[in-house]
Amino acid sequence: MQVKLDALIEKSKIEWANLYSSKKTVILVGTATCGRSAGALDTINAIENFTNSNGIECEIIEVGCIGLCYAEPLVVIYSEDKPGVCYGEVDEKKVKTILKAHLIDHNPMQKYSLGTFGDEKVEGFPVLFNEPVLKYQVRRALAKCGIIDPTKLEHYLSFGGYEGLKNAFEIGPEKVIETVKDSGLRGRGGAGFPTWRKWQFCHDSDSDQKYLICNADEGDPGAFMNRALLEGDPHALLEGMIISGYALGASTGYIYCRAEYPLALERLHLSIEQAKDIGLLGSNILDSGFDFNIKIKEGAGAFVCGEETALIASIEGYRGMPRPRPPFPAVKGLWGKPTIINNVESLACVSLILKNGAEWFSEVGTESSTGTKTIALVGKIKNTGLVEVPLGTTLEDLVFKVGGGIPNGKKFKAVQTGGPSGGCVPLELLNTPVDYDSLNSVGTIMGSGGVVVMDEDTCMVDFARFFLDFAEKESCGKCVPCRLGTKQMLDILEDIVNGKGKIEDIKLLEDLSEGIISGSLCGLGQTAPNPVKTTLKYFREEYEAHIIDKKCPSKVCKELIHYWIDPELCVGCRVCLGSCPGGAITGDVKVVHVINDNLCTKCGMCYEVCPPKIDAIEIIPGSSVRVV
Amino acid sequence: MQIDLESVFSGYSGKREEIIPILQDAQEKLNYLPKEAMRKIAKFVRVPESSVYAIATFYAQFRFKPMGKNHVMVCRGTACHVNGATRVLEEVEEQLGISEGETREDMEYSLETVACIGACSLAPCMMINKDVEAKINKKKVAKIFSQGN
Ligand SMILES: Cc1cc2nc3c(=O)[nH]c(=O)nc-3n(C[C@H](O)[C@H](O)[C@H](O)COP(=O)(O)O)c2cc1C
Ligand code: FES
């Protein structure tokens, strides 16, 4: 089997080199979920139509997500001898223009280009990887995403794929754990627990059967790092799992992946088949004497199943409810056997560590948080997408350098890390480094790597309410502090955003937070109050404005705003009047329009339809009628 | 209604751990989980029907009422929320004439909200069957559903 794999590696490397040295045109199109939602499949159709009808011989490669999601669909064109040029927002309609310029007139189009792909320079084009969005990144786990075709094992192999596994087999399980220990790798799924330590527990326990589970549930709403990795480089996970299984002495691995990721699931199924065919899964893998198989379990839509013991219950066929720990799964897990649960990214890092060495891994990052972290940058930020930065990069650099800052000239307000379990970090603390310990010290957590940026238009009370609503819905109901506590907190927050808040509520929220944090059974409840706690700490004045002044300063909470037509600006065009579903606007042609607050449902229709040139409608904090 | 789940059961041996995948397959085949199917599944895995219900009702994926031909899922995840998902949902409800969690009488559309579809960088999003619609706003919603109606 080893021989067969080595031959395939050799062949893959040659084919990859030939692909780019040949005269043939090569076109890469990003077709991960983000690319597809932006229309990448239509773009491919259009490319095929164009090249076919113009007799251009070309190879179209569907690649994963390179992370510049804001500019999807992304297309990279390598024509004959020119270096690759990356184009952004290439919808169907632009294909013809771009391809004609690039492939027929041999004149790459600057207008739609983001830069050149690779190191070579072309007059007038920036080098894409020197642009701020990529320059500050260190792409390791994501290095191949957007470069290789994830459905081809050969592509993975040509980049040194499965070399880590070969090394692991050479040094043996104990040395594998030692290497992971030396690398300093901490779990990328949430808590940042040292990976080697769990492994050691499991390795040392004496059991006829042990299990490895990859947590690909990615329940944090607003995060998609694992999805991108699974869709863009699925073999990286498989390799990490085989290495981990070998170190633990486990013969079966499960991937628990959420059903909402159909493309990731498809890629995983395919990769597992490919790995089986070449003897990377099954019995006596690469003549090492080690047997390992991987099964896929689809999640059924419950956030709490990301918690280790709930996840195990779910695989066993029960309601996904957590149980008290200890015993920890490493001692007593799936079907009572020692079980290790690791996040997708942690396992992908393992393949890199075994390939490149522990020292290489810890070259970047901080002393206690080594390596890099993939981060989903979303919300009110210019470069929304997926990035990978060294741990220890400050939030400020992440938001303003890599992320390009806040769009539409708005002001930055806060950044939320760690999803529903995390907290908000305000402007004053933007110099906080993104590492496990620093984020904890300001009241939030790293979580799985979701970073949501908010601008002045985001209401922090509403935002906290949003997360509590999520926690309340997702609470499994087993323990009282979480089940009833989140409900009480949500009710109070609903009151506040609806203008019925009382000043005592703030204290009550703080007390409830403490009770839920200390009394809950699992991580869901223990962290659910974090969004409220941090917004109360850093944005207390917004709560007070809602409660005392009955105003929503960010103009979000419907009950605490009103719409107003500026008589100086209104030209009496009847557009808003006609669109108002509640009949709340009076006026006539060339007669200033007025909103009757008693009838207004605050649907915002008038605000949206008022012609931009006139822009006479304002949203004003506070529910009372403004006196002019 | 006569329900045949043999083709689903043939892939399984009837172990407890198979309940969730069986429910998933059965729902895929039948579009929802009617009483009759629940009874058959309980029998097949040899656990009380109440236990099968206990499991199925725990997970958001399972439904016990038939779903419309088109399944519309509006994302209410964090990124989408910050980018105006509430307004999008209002508009979809308005366009379809049903509220979240409902199915239209003509069985053309069902409307649900989901926690995240993983296209957060193109928020706000919704999914119609298996297709993701990204960067949607009121206008785009109106356009999408006026074609289909
Ligand atoms: C409510 C809850 C949800 C979680 N969701 C996830 C998740 O979606 N993905 C994940 O990797 N870890 C999640 N975790 C953390 C896992 O329980 C576990 O710590 C992690 O998968 C361990 O892997 P790691 O050591 O590689 O980080 C969640 C924890 C809790 C309490
Ligand atoms: S938050 Fe809507 S797609 Fe993730």
Q: For the segment A372-395, what is each residue's pLDDT rounded down to a tens digit?
A: 999 999 999 999 999 999 999 999
Query: Is A405 in the same domain as A543?
Result: no
Placement of tokens 């893959």 in the chain? A12
Query: Is B109 in the same domain as B88?
Result: yes
Query: Is B53 in the same domain as B89?
Result: no
Question: Taking 70 as the threshold, does the pLDDT of residue B149 lie above it?
Answer: no
Work out the percent of chain A whose per-residue pLDDT is above 90. Answer: 92
Instruction: Encode pLDDT of A527-559 as tens digits.
Output: 999 999 999 999 999 999 999 999 999 999 999
Q: With the CA atoms of A562, A568, A569 and A575 taken in that order, what torsion angle do they form, in degrees rounded to the nearest 10?
A: 70
Domain count, chain B: 2
How many CB atoms sit inside 10 A of residue B139's CB?
A: 10
Q: Which of A555, A418, A489 is nearest to B78 (CA)?
A: A418
Q: Is residue B16 part of a domain?
A: yes
Residue at a domain's end among A300, A328, A356: A356
* Chain A neighbors of B138, CB-CB under 8 A: 608
SS3 B42: helix
For residue B123, give the ligand 2 atom closest to its CA.
2
Beta bridge partners of A389: A373
Facing B132 at nearest CB: one of A36, A70, A386 = A36
A419 Cβ partners below 8 Å, 6+ apart? A220, A221, A222, A223, A447, A448, A450, B78
Placement of tokens 């990301």 in the chain? A306
Distance to chain B for A459, nearest Cα, Å: 9
pLDDT at A624: 65
Query: Is A283 in the same domain as A166?
Result: yes
A280 Cβ partners below 8 Å, 6+ apart? A5, A162, A165, A238, A239, A242, A286
Q: Are B112 and A412 in contact (CB under 8 A)?
A: no
Query: Is A448 in the same domain as A465?
Result: no
Backbone angles phi, psi at B87, to 5 degrees: -65, -40
CATH number at residue A444: 3.10.20.600
Cβ pair A38:B59 closer than 8 A: no
Burial readout A72-105 (b: 16 or more C-beta within 10 A, e: otherwise) = bbbbbbbbeeebbbbbbbbebebbeebbebbbee
Q: Is residue A363 part of a domain?
A: no
Q: Which of A117, A378, A371, A385 is nearest to A228 (CA)?
A: A385
Query: Is B90 in the same domain as B127?
Result: yes
Facing B118 at nearest CB: one of A260, A316, A377 = A260
Question: Taking 50 as the threshold, does the pLDDT of residue A175 lie above it?
Answer: yes
| Spatial distance between the Cα atoms of A181 and B47, rounded to a whole number of angstroms | 44
pLDDT at A83: 83
B62 Cβ partners below 8 Å, 6+ apart? A300, B23, B27, B33, B56
Range of the domain at B131: 70-148
Question: Taking 90 as the threshold, does the pLDDT of residue A251 lie above it?
Answer: yes
ipTM: 0.94
Q: Is residue B64 part of a domain?
A: no
Query: Is A189 in the same domain as A63?
Result: no
Average pLDDT on B95-108 reads 95
Query: Is A80 in the same domain as A188?
Result: no
CATH number at residue A507: 1.20.1440.230
Residue of A nearest to B77 (CA): A221
pLDDT at B148: 53
Instruction: Supply the DSSP symbol for A80.
Output: T
Average pLDDT on A161-187 reads 97
Asked if residue A474 has its Cβ within 6 Å of ligand 1, the reply is no
Q: Is residue B40 part of a domain?
A: yes
Query: Is A446 in the same domain as A583?
Result: no
| Spatial distance between the Cα atoms of A514 and B66, rounded to a whole number of angstroms | 43
Query: Is A208 in the same domain as A338?
Result: yes
Range of the domain at A116: 19-132
Query: Is B37 in the same domain as B92?
Result: no
Q: Are A425 and A535 in contact (CB under 8 A)?
A: no
Q: Is the peptide bond before A73 cis (omega within 30 degrees of 0)?
A: yes
Instruction: Encode pLDDT of A393-439 as tens digits.
Output: 999 999 999 999 999 999 999 999 999 999 999 999 999 999 999 99
Query: Is A187 in the same domain as A296?
Result: yes
Ordered DSSP codes for A501-527 = --THHHHHHHHHHHHHHHH-SSHHHHH
Query: Is A196 in the same domain as A266?
Result: yes
pLDDT band at A570 (very low <50, low <70, confident <90, very high): very high
| Spatial distance between the Cα atoms of A254 and A258, rounded to a whole number of angstroms | 13
Query: Is A198 in the same domain as A329?
Result: yes
Cβ pair B55:A224 closer than 8 A: no
* Chain B neighbors of A452, CB-CB under 8 A: 78-79, 82
Q: Is residue B47 part of a domain?
A: yes
Instruction: Encode pLDDT of A341-366 as tens digits.
Output: 999 999 999 999 999 999 999 999 99
Residue of B nearest to A471 (CA): B115
The one-letter code for the residue type at A141 is A
Backbone angles phi, psi at A249, to 5 degrees: 80, 30
Query: Is A112 in the same domain as A77?
Result: yes
CATH number at residue A63: 3.40.30.10
Burial readout A203-231 (b: 16 or more C-beta within 10 A, e: otherwise) = beeeeeebbbbbbbbbbbbbbbbbbbbbb
Residue of A nearest to B54 (CA): A319
Query: Is B52 in the same domain as B74?
Result: no
Instruction: Encode pLDDT of A268-294 as tens digits.
Output: 999 999 999 999 999 999 999 999 999
Instruction: Encode pLDDT of A289-343 as tens digits.
Output: 999 999 999 999 999 999 999 999 999 999 999 999 999 999 999 999 999 999 9
Q: Is residue A288 part of a domain?
A: yes
* Chain B neighbors of A454, CB-CB under 8 A: 82
pLDDT at A627: 45
SS3 A18: helix
Cβ pair A378:B123 closer than 8 A: yes
Residue at a domain's end among A391, A422, A455: A455
Query: Is B111 in the same domain as B82?
Result: yes
Instruction: Encode pLDDT of A51-80 as tens digits.
Output: 999 999 999 999 999 999 999 999 999 987
Average pLDDT over chain A reads: 95
Instruction: Supply the DSSP symbol for A427.
Output: G
Cβ pair A221:B19 closer than 8 A: no
Beta bridge partners of B72: B111, B128
Q: Which of A526, A530, A423, A513 is nearest to A479 (CA)?
A: A526
A611-617 long-range contacts (CB < 8 A, ≥24 apart) are A611/A573, A611/A575, A614/A569, A614/A570, A614/A571, A614/A573, A615/A569, A616/A565, A616/A566, A616/A569, A616/A570, A616/A571, A617/A563, A617/A564, A617/A565, A617/A566, A617/A576
pLDDT band at A368 (very low <50, low <70, confident <90, very high): very high
Domain count, chain A: 5
Q: Are A131 and A116 in contact (CB under 8 A)?
A: no
Residue at a domain's end among A510, A528, A549: A549
Placement of tokens 């045109």 in the chain? A25
Question: Taking 90 as the threshold, does the pLDDT of residue A49 lie above it?
Answer: yes
Instruction: Supply the DSSP symbol for A400.
Output: I
Placement of tokens 């690319």 in the chain? A35
| Spatial distance between the Cα atoms of A561 and A499, rounded to a whole number of angstroms | 10
pLDDT at A593: 96
Backbone angles phi, psi at A621, to 5 degrees: -60, 140
Question: Taking 90 as the threshold, does the pLDDT of residue B142 lie above it?
Answer: no
Question: Taking 50 as the threshold, does the pLDDT of residue B36 lie above it?
Answer: yes
Q: Is residue B63 part of a domain?
A: no
Query: Is A200 in the same domain as A281?
Result: yes
Cβ pair B78:A377 closer than 8 A: no
CATH number at residue B74: 3.40.30.10
A513 Cβ partners below 8 Å, 6+ apart? A489, A529, A532, A533
Q: Is residue B140 part of a domain?
A: yes
Q: Which two tokens stand for residue A156?
A: 């993975």
Q: Is residue B1 part of a domain?
A: no
| Spatial distance between the Cα atoms of A433 and A429, rounded to a whole number of angstroms | 9
pLDDT band at A626 (very low <50, low <70, confident <90, very high): very low
pLDDT band at B1 (very low <50, low <70, confident <90, very high): low
Work out the percent of chain A whose per-residue pLDDT is above 70. Answer: 99
Q: Is residue A606 part of a domain?
A: yes
Average pLDDT on A566-588 reads 93
Q: Is residue A513 part of a domain?
A: yes
Instruction: Supply the DSSP symbol for A65.
Output: -
A64 Cβ partners below 8 Å, 6+ apart? A30, A31, A32, A144, A145, A146, A148, A150, A228, A231, A232, A233
Q: Are A550 and A560 in contact (CB under 8 A)?
A: yes
* Greatest alpha-carbon span in chain B: 52
Q: Is residue A580 part of a domain?
A: yes
Facing A385 at nearest CB: one of B18, B90, B121 = B121
Average pLDDT on A562-573 reads 95
pLDDT at A611: 94
Q: Which of A226, A513, A247 is nearest to A388 (CA)?
A: A226
Q: Is residue B65 part of a domain?
A: no
Q: Which of A224, A330, A234, A265 is nearest to A242 (CA)?
A: A234
Average pLDDT on B108-137 reads 92
Distance A35 CA to ligand 2 centre (A): 14
Q: Are A584 and A600 in contact (CB under 8 A)?
A: yes
